[in-house]
Amino acid sequence: MSAKNIPQRMCVACRQMKNKKDLIRVVRTPEGETILDTTGKKAGRGAYICPDETCLQKAIKTKSLERILKTKIDEETWESIRGQLAKQVAEGR
């Protein structure tokens, strides 16, 4: 028997494939709201970003997350992503 497949996703900033659970998912809901998806199961268009300040800065600068989600991301959402990033770093991920 083979080992269980671990889902892989690509970071929108650094473009590296990583384990899905190691990335932060950002979703544009059907209502048009941009939120963090901590469960990985919320409905809507999703994009993944590394829990890394460099990737976050690159995503903001290049607007890659906005382009993939096809929406403008407000400062409040960026701050929420920053908070999630700090939380994951503190947890040692």
User: Tell me: the pLDDT tens digits for 2-56?
Assistant: 568 889 999 999 999 999 989 999 999 999 888 888 888 999 999 999 988 899 9
Q: Is residue 1 part of a domain?
A: no
What is the C-alpha separation between 93 and 62, in angstroms, rounded? 25
Tell me if the pTM is above 0.75.
Answer: yes
Residue 57: which CATH number? Answer: 3.30.1230.10
Instruction: Return the ∠ at Cα 70 (arms to 57 and 84), rounded to 5°.
Output: 40
Q: Is residue 73 part of a domain?
A: yes
Domain containing residue 52: 8-90
85: left (phi over 0), alpha (psi -120 to 50) or beta: alpha
Number of compact structural domains in the chain: 1
Q: Is residue 58 part of a domain?
A: yes
Which of 35-39, 60-64, 81-85 reaches the highest mean pLDDT?
A: 60-64
Whether residue 1 is predicted with pLDDT greater than 60 in this model: the reply is no
